Amino acid sequence: MASHLPSATSGKPILDALSGIRQSKPPIWLMRQAGRYLPEYRAMRAQSRSFMEFCFSPKMASEATLQPIKRFGFDAAILFSDILVIPEAMGQPVSFEQGEGPRLAPINDSQDFLRLRDEIDLEVLEPVFETVELVKSQLPAEVAFIGFCGAPWTVASYMIAGKGTPDQAPARLFAYRYPDLFSRLIDRLVRASVNYLERQVRAGVEVVQIFDSWAGVLPDREFEKWCLQPVLSITRQLKARCPGVRIIVFSRGAKTRLVGFLEEASVDALGLDTSDSVSWSARNIQVKKTVQGNLDPLVLLAGGEALVVEVSRILDGFSAGPHIFNLGHGILPATPIEHVELLLKTVRDGR
């Protein structure tokens, strides 16, 4: 494994895994580990008027980041925020209706596009960096700190539709109709993401994850243009500015196209989604990069024997190389706390 340079252990299991070190028990964190399945999150969230206000409150966002660490002792904390703070900082206000997901004024044409700011207003994002500093000062020494952003394609898809959709058809249509305009939007989001992530790193995160949650809806040529190349542009620029940062790319639904990231030194790990084959990924991805994933969130919701069996299958399948245990997508709000406890017990004691 030439691309893995095992080094002395860092004292943080996640950072060791990201350095290509295989561990007999993989470190674990869960996508969306802070959030609605936690009663302590729901109680705190009820005290704020809106979700965006919550994200921009360093006191509440730092507490939400730390809640799953205090309760479960995960190996990493992920910054509590949302991928849609970027449109907000570009001058496209975001709101969340109760139970309905995000709402933005959609981008239908060049007029709407021209109303956006060319550069993000970092002033708007200042509370996020303050949150990072607050968390950093309270985090146990062995727990890694993960920052994040949405990948340009995924963020653009919400900016254009103005809401969540099942297949991001509005953004796909926009990209076919107005490729030059769409390309300008993606370029802006690349620049914004690099600046935003750099500030997160300077404030204290050690790892960043880029969430391309909607990569899977694109045909190959569009995937190459709107997902692969922009994400690589971010990882290269960020590594040039912050050489010590570790980068995880979660390109959900990319499937075999994940190999496009394999030869890239600026990417440290690839997140696998629920539908990725463990044996294929072990043979084709893990031989070159640390893998992260990929338990079905529905198995965690189901719990019991099904959970234990599936966790063991994933542990065995990735036991030959560096692995960070995670879900294949975000934890579901209805997930019982006891199932998360059983998951941790199985990963940590069960081998």
| Cβ atoms of 64 and 49 closer than 8 Å | no
CB of 36 to ligand 1CP, least distance (A): 5
- Find the part of the chain contacting ligand 1CP (CB under 6 A) among 96-104, 116-124, 177-185, 235-243: 96-104
Q: By CB under 6 A, is residue 253 in contact with ligand 1CP?
A: no
Q: For residues 18 and 78, which CB has a smaller minimum distance to ligand 1CP in the complex?
A: 78
101 binds ligand 1CP (CB under 6 A): yes
Q: Based on the shown chain and the rule CB under 6 A, indicate whether residue 33 belongs to the binding site for ligand 1CP.
A: yes
Query: Residue 236 in 3-state DSSP?
Result: helix
Nearest one of 282, 240, 233, 234 to 258, comparing CA atoms = 282
Secondary-structure percent of the chain, ordered helix, strand, coil, rounded to 5: 50, 15, 40
Residues 6+ apart with CB under 8 A from 19: 4, 5, 6, 7, 10, 246, 268, 322
Tokens of 90: 């570009």
Residue 32 touching ligand 1CP (CB under 6 A)? yes
Out of 106, 303, 330, 350, which residue is the one contacting ligand 1CP (CB under 6 A)? 330
Q: Residue 102 interacts with ligand 1CP (CB under 6 A)? A: yes
Burial class for 222, CB neighbours closer than 10 Å (0-12, 13-18, 19+): middle
CB of residue 220 to ligand 1CP, shortest distance in Å:
22
Question: Given candidates 18, 21, 31, 245, which one binds ligand 1CP under the rule CB under 6 A?
Answer: 31
Annotated active-site residue 82? The verdict is yes
Contacts of 76 (CB under 8 A, 6+ apart): 14, 27, 29, 143, 144, 145, 146, 207
**Hey, which residues between 206 and 245 contact ligand 1CP (CB under 6 A)?**
211, 213
32 given a catalytic annotation: yes
The binding track of 72-91 with respect to ligand 1CP, each residue x by CB under 6 A or -, is ------x-x-xxx-------
Count residues contacting ligand 1CP (CB under 6 A)? 22
Report if residue 35 touches ligand 1CP, rule: CB under 6 A.
yes
* DSSP bridge partners of 76: 144
CA dist 190 and 176 (Å) reads 20
DSSP 334: T
Under the criterion CB under 6 A, does residue 71 sit at the interface with ligand 1CP? no
Q: Which residues contact 253 (CB under 8 A, 6 or more apart)?
A: 214, 215, 216, 217, 273, 275
> Among the candidate windows 34-42, 105-113, 197-205, 297-305, which touches ligand 1CP by CB under 6 A?
34-42
Q: Is 164 in the site for ligand 1CP (CB under 6 A)?
A: yes
Question: Of the residues 71, 82, 184, 236, which is catalytic?
Answer: 82
Question: Which tokens hold the place of 311?
Answer: 């966790």
150 vs 230 by CB, closer to ligand 1CP: 150
- Does residue 351 have an active-site annotation? no
Instruction: Tell me the closest approach of the beta carbon of residue 79 to ligand 1CP, in angstroms.
Output: 6
Number of residue whose CB is nearest ligand 1CP: 164
269 touches 292 (CB < 8 A): yes
Residues forming the site for ligand 1CP (CB under 6 A): 31-36, 45, 51, 78, 80, 82-84, 96, 101-102, 148, 150, 164, 211, 213, 330
